[in-house]
């Protein structure tokens, strides 16, 4: 470690040149330290990034970090997103981000030069069931030929719509998992994530739910800090290469109001026909599905009944250990991180059973069959929003008959 930044790094930590991507996520101190790594004063440090793509803003002063002696080039043409997606996302940035306040955190908003690629406008949906609507749109695109990993469902309100809750509601026959850095290894799997975690990825379709007033930005957040949440939403929207769906249930977030004129608007009703799924709180059902007391032996191993795809809690009960003990073992031996809802892949499950010297008898009870049914959600009603009776623009779909701007008196 350096006691101060005037010291020189040890030789084994230095290189002739250093290439840095996403430099906007480094603070001033990070940049000062990076500037000491190259051994060459000529083209020794190359930085690439987009300051508008910050998720967690912090003090970042490029002049102080690497000095004034540098060559800079700006590339403003966007090739990832369609013109319609980028244009709509830019409305959000322009409306909520104070350039003076943003510049203090190293954020500079450049007016983008839109690429020529065209596509549908982002779709804002008011839905009776936001999670069902998200899966309905995802299933529709899977039917149209999208690979699973080209679709992401992101929650802007993890309290109201957690990643686990979204995953539990997935339709039978659809593969889904939490977004990780290795998601591309499972091309048939739809990914689910919290909003800040989508940074650095891109998808053909991104579906963002939880965009209700009071939920995002949170009602208890300081008004002067809302620009940080606007920046996070901007980053998430621009993860969508071709299509974006933005879902609310009650009153739309003011962030949706900022993009109102760039959005298509729909009011949709979703039905699933789904029966309730098993929850971790349903202790009676859980006990009925697991017989922790061995009744027979196989090659010296006690036979224990358990569900065909046990969760962490169910497997721990079958093994006679606590969920915490099981979670620690899974992390240490398989780098497999779990929650109470996590279902174990078969190869890890086999290794754990072997370690604890248990022979599993996998059973599917009638109750479990009833509760595991989750029929694919369908959009049974989709109508365009009404027009504002004052200005003729798209009205808020709440029966008021006015658009977002007129409702605010703009």
Q: Annotate 279-290 with DSSP letters as a single string.
A: -TT-HHHHHHH-
Phi first, then psi: give them for residue 249, nearest 5 degrees: -120, -45
Is 372 a residue whose pLDDT tops 50? Answer: no
| Mutual angle of helices 346-355 and 312-319, in 10-degree steps | 20
Is 365 a residue whose pLDDT tops 70? Answer: no
Least confident of 163-172, 202-211, 224-233, 391-400: 391-400
Assign 204 a pLDDT band (cuts: 50, 70, 90): very high
Instruction: To the nearest 10°, report the CA torsion of 76, 78, 83, 84.
Output: -100
Q: pLDDT value at position 1?
A: 44
CATH 3.40.50.1820 fits 83-274+378-407, yes or no: no
Assign 371 a pLDDT band (cuts: 50, 70, 90): very low
User: How far apart are alpha carbons 403 and 313 in whole angstroms?
Assistant: 48
Whether the CB-CB separation of 270 and 378 falls below 8 Å is answered with yes
Whether the CB-CB separation of 106 and 231 falls below 8 Å is answered with no
User: How far apart are alpha carbons 309 and 335 in whole angstroms?
Assistant: 19
**Which sequence spans correspond to the domains of the chain?**
11-73, 83-274+378-407, 283-372
Is 64 a residue whose pLDDT tops 90? Answer: no
Under DSSP, the state recorded for 41 is: S
Pick 264 or 276 by higher pLDDT: 264
Q: pLDDT value at position 147?
A: 92
pTM above 0.85, yes or no: no
User: How far apart are alpha carbons 204 and 201 in whole angstroms?
Assistant: 11
Whether the CB-CB separation of 201 and 152 falls below 8 Å is answered with yes
């Amino acid at each position: 470690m350096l006691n101060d930044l005037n010291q020189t790094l040890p030789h084994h930590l230095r290189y002739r040149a250093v290439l840095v991507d996403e430099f906007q996520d480094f603070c001033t101190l990070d940049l000062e330290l990076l500037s000491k790594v190259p051994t060459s004063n000529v083209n020794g440090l190359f930085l690439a990034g987009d300051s508008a793509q910050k998720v967690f803003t912090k003090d970042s002063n490029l002049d102080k970090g690497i000095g004034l002696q540098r060559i800079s080039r700006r590339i403003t043409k966007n090739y990832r997103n369609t013109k319609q997606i980028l244009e709509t996302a830019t409305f959000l940035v322009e409306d909520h981000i104070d350039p003076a306040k943003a510049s203090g955190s190293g954020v500079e908003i450049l007016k983008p030069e839109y690429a020529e690629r065209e596509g549908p406008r982002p779709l804002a949906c008011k839905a009776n069931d936001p999670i069902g609507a998200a899966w309905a749109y995802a299933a529709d695109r899977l039917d149209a030929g999208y690979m699973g990993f080209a679709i992401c469902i992101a929650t802007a309100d993890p309290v109201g719509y957690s990643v686990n809750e979204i995953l539990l509601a997935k339709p039978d026959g659809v593969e889904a998992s939490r977004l990780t850095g290795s998601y591309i290894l499972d091309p048939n799997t739809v990914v689910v994530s919290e909003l800040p975690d989508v940074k650095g990825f891109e998808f053909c379709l991104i579906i963002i739910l939880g965009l209700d007033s009071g939920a995002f930005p949170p009602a208890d957040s300081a008004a002067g800090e809302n620009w940080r949440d606007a920046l996070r939403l901007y980053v998430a929207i621009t993860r969508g290469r071709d299509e974006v769906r933005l879902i609310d249930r009650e009153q739309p977030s003011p962030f949706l109001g900022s993009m109102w004129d760039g959005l298509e608007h729909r009011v949709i009703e979703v039905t699933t026909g789904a029966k309730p799924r098993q929850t971790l709180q349903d202790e009676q059902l859980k006990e009925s599905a697991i017989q922790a007391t061995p009744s027979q032996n196989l090659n010296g191993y006690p036979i224990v009944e358990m569900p065909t795809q046990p969760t962490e809690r169910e497997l721990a009960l079958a093994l006679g250990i606590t969920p915490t003990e099981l979670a620690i073992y899974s992390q240490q031996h398989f780098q497999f991180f779990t929650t109470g809802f996590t279902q174990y892949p078969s190869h890890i499950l086999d290794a754990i059973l072997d370690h604890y010297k248990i022979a599993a008898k996998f059973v599917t009870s009638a109750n479990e069959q009833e509760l595991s049914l989750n029929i694919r959600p369908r959009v049974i009603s989709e109508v365009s929003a009404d027009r504002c009776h004052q200005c003729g623009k798209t009205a808020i779909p709440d029966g008021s008959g006015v658009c977002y701007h007129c409702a605010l008196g703009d």
